Chain A
């Protein structure tokens, strides 16, 4: 188990390095540095001499390879630079936003798993039944919803009309504030999980070993409990891991909609403020989180499927 963990973590390092390179290059090579952008915005007018000094201070005049090595080295020791706007360390800015984001994403995924997986199971065990048809129509509809629009509608209905829940913000960090954004974010993965689970269970139900189980004289519920559940879970777990990627993308929009103080809204705000170190830091943190989740999923895999260990 530890060996596998070590191998997976070792696999992450080059990916992460490549991601850092891509983020760095994207924001360095392309024209329009943030200082000229600050000028173009018309929000600030600056003396060319001041601009030159700022460029020097920020090291923007150094040759690209030198800046890259510096950036990489700093990142490696956890220094993501200083925000252009607030002059605070990016690590601190991003760190403050980590917990709210994590809470939102995990809550959304929890909702998705808690509803999507059982629904897919029931649908697969009674294919063609009313509950199958309804949940699959619901699932494809859920996949077609844009999450922020769903959030907007939920906000209108439950916060503004019914006034059951707060319409936006983090509040005291309590559950009441979490419900609407988590629902808006969770419906997409819920729909996908319902579909994947259904497909996985149907696939397993057709497997030869399920026929063997039936030939042993097991009741259908025993067959499912003893032989189908675990095998279908292997396929479902993969989907859960992959879903975190698009979930974190969607979280950016949902956070912005609900003014949720997470990494996503920090990212969007920083993009508009041309605060490039913060933008880079946010993206890096999101990617790191996604890779960490996938490592966890791999570990879950090892726990469920004995074949993996010997590959």
Chain B
């Protein structure tokens, strides 16, 4: 246990609204080992992105860290000062964002935006840093990097921009890469390339990945372990193979059923993909009892009244359901 790179323990994130304060995320705990790829899955609005921002110390009003511990390499960082967090960010924990269109400064050449990392964290001068930026672009397989470093983001395609983001994030060989929906905004054909590139580079540098996505299939392919979040809580966590073989939470089963499967098309004919009925409840309107109960096909009286506790599963897994049996 103590060899975990990152341990998140009972994380709680508060959302301050006009009068009340809501818990946007609560009781979120997980562990990521060194060099391990860990997946966090859920629909948009379930709290996975703000969990990522919390790890980076980038929560901004009205969101704030309200409780729990974040332990990086044995060191608690949830109460670290802004200056201490700055030294961590980029250097030891890096992040890739969803929107490659807007995540890069439109008025700055991409080479410079990569080079900033070396200037900030490795004390290089700009000339040397630009050479390193060119090297970094080559590593993420951007063609003719010596020319591309002078390009502005609008001159690059979405896929190229996301490669630049990866180059920035991995510039200082961080211990942990937080990737928040890194391929959602990209063409399907480009998605696989980006994912492969990320996995390959992280493996080479020994960087662990926290992969955040709404796409269970993508996450399960890439990650050893997967946690499923719903309405601010982790509802199920299991090794990737186990979550497909024996999903224990009705929500996980819903997610799996909504995945398109190549082999099954012939068997199911033209049957539509199954979707989970309903939508994620808003923070202000979380139902009593189990938060999934309005959408759950298996909900019973106890689900309407009592919030389910986390039940441990083998291999450090857990499930939060009254009927996980």
Determine whether A and B are in direct contact in the complex, meaning some CB atoms lie less than 8 angstroms apart: yes
Give chain A's interface residues, CB within 8 Å of chain B.
207-209, 211-219, 222, 226-227, 230-231, 234, 304-307, 310
CA distance A234 to B108 in the complex (A): 13
Are A305 and B107 in contact (CB-based, < 8 A)? yes
CA distance A227 to B120 in the complex (A): 14
Q: Which of B71-112 contact A (CB under 8 A)?
A: 83, 85-91, 94-95, 97, 99, 102-108
Q: A216-B120, A217-B89, A306-B154 are in contact. Are A211 and B97 (CB under 8 A)?
A: yes
Q: Nearest chain-B residue to A234 (Cβ)?
A: B107
B234 within 8 A of A: no
**B99: A residues at CB distance < 8 A:** 208
CA distance A208 to B185 in the complex (A): 14
**A306: B residues at CB distance < 8 A:** 106-107, 152, 154
Are A216 and B152 in contact (CB-based, < 8 A)? no
Q: A215-B94, A216-B90, A216-B120 are in contact. Are A227 and B108 (CB under 8 A)?
A: yes
- What is the CB-to-nearest-CB distance from B29 to chain A, in angstroms, rounded to a whole number? 23
Q: Which 4 A-B pairs have the closest CB atoms?
A: A217-B90, A217-B89, A208-B102, A216-B90
**B106: A residues at CB distance < 8 A:** 209, 231, 305-307
CA distance A207 to B91 in the complex (A): 22
A-B interface contact total, Cβ < 8 Å: 75
**A215: B residues at CB distance < 8 A:** 56, 58, 89-90, 94-95, 97
Q: Which of A207, A226, A307, A310 contacts B102 (CB 8 A)?
A: A207
CA distance A216 to B120 in the complex (A): 8
- What is the CB-to-nearest-CB distance from A311 to chain B, in angstroms, rounded to a whole number? 10
B300 within 8 A of A: no
- What is the CB-to-nearest-CB distance from B51 to chain A, in angstroms, rounded to a whole number? 15
CA distance A147 to B87 in the complex (A): 51
**A219: B residues at CB distance < 8 A:** 83, 86
Q: Nearest chain-B residue to A227 (Cβ)?
A: B105
- What is the CB-to-nearest-CB distance from A236 to chain B, in angstroms, rounded to a whole number? 13
- What is the CB-to-nearest-CB distance from A129 to chain B, in angstroms, rounded to a whole number? 15
Are B116 and A216 in contact (CB-based, < 8 A)? yes
B contact residues, total (Cβ < 8 Å): 30
Q: Which of B102, B105, B107 contacts A213 (CB 8 A)?
A: B105
A interface: dominant SS: helix
CA distance A182 to B91 in the complex (A): 51
Are A209 and B102 in contact (CB-based, < 8 A)? yes
Q: Show 25 residue pairs from A and B whose CB-CB distance is below 8 angstroms, ordered by the A residue.
A: A208-B99, A208-B103, A211-B97, A211-B103, A212-B97, A212-B168, A213-B116, A215-B56, A215-B58, A215-B90, A215-B94, A215-B95, A216-B94, A217-B88, A217-B120, A217-B121, A218-B90, A219-B86, A226-B116, A227-B108, A230-B107, A305-B106, A306-B107, A307-B152, A307-B154
CA distance A230 to B56 in the complex (A): 26
Q: Nearest chain-B residue to A306 (Cβ)?
A: B152
**B154: A residues at CB distance < 8 A:** 306-307, 310
Are B97 and A214 in contact (CB-based, < 8 A)? no
CA distance A214 to B121 in the complex (A): 13
Q: Nearest chain-B residue to A219 (Cβ)?
A: B86
Point out which of A213, A214, A307 has the most chain B C-beta atoms below 10 A from its C-beta.
A214
**B116: A residues at CB distance < 8 A:** 213, 216, 218, 226
Q: Nearest chain-A residue to B178 (Cβ)?
A: A215
CA distance A227 to B85 in the complex (A): 20
- What is the CB-to-nearest-CB distance from A108 to chain B, in angstroms, rounded to a whole number? 29
Q: Nearest chain-A residue to B87 (Cβ)?
A: A217
**B94: A residues at CB distance < 8 A:** 215-216
**A217: B residues at CB distance < 8 A:** 85-91, 120-121
- What is the CB-to-nearest-CB distance from A121 to chain B, in angstroms, rounded to a whole number? 17
Q: Which of B106-140 contact A (CB under 8 A)?
A: 106-108, 116-117, 120-121
Q: Which of A208, A218, A230, A310 contacts B97 (CB 8 A)?
A: A208
**A214: B residues at CB distance < 8 A:** 58, 89
Q: Nearest chain-A residue to B116 (Cβ)?
A: A216
**B90: A residues at CB distance < 8 A:** 215-218
CA distance A88 to B179 in the complex (A): 74
Q: Which of A211, A231, A307 contacts B58 (CB 8 A)?
A: A211
**A310: B residues at CB distance < 8 A:** 154-155
Q: Nearest chain-B residue to A218 (Cβ)?
A: B120
**B95: A residues at CB distance < 8 A:** 215
- If A209-B104, A305-B106 are given as contacts, then 14 extra A-B residue pairs at C-beta distance below 8 Å, sorted by A number, are A207-B102, A211-B97, A214-B58, A215-B56, A215-B89, A215-B95, A217-B86, A222-B120, A227-B105, A231-B105, A231-B107, A234-B107, A306-B107, A306-B152
CA distance A234 to B106 in the complex (A): 11
- What is the CB-to-nearest-CB distance from B70 to chain A, in angstroms, rounded to a whole number? 16
Q: Nearest chain-B residue to A229 (Cβ)?
A: B107
**B86: A residues at CB distance < 8 A:** 217-219
Q: A207-B102, A211-B58, A215-B95 are in contact. Are A226 and B108 (CB under 8 A)?
A: yes
Q: Nearest chain-B residue to A205 (Cβ)?
A: B60
**B87: A residues at CB distance < 8 A:** 217
**B168: A residues at CB distance < 8 A:** 212, 216
**A222: B residues at CB distance < 8 A:** 120
- What is the CB-to-nearest-CB distance from A257 to chain B, in angstroms, rounded to a whole number? 42
- What is the CB-to-nearest-CB distance from A205 to chain B, in angstroms, rounded to a whole number? 10
CA distance A226 to B89 in the complex (A): 17
CA distance A214 to B88 in the complex (A): 11
- What is the CB-to-nearest-CB distance from B115 to chain A, in angstroms, rounded to a whole number? 11
- What is the CB-to-nearest-CB distance from B113 to chain A, in angstroms, rounded to a whole number? 8
Q: A217-B121, A307-B154, A310-B154 are in contact. Are A212 and B103 (CB under 8 A)?
A: yes
Q: Nearest chain-A residue to B109 (Cβ)?
A: A306
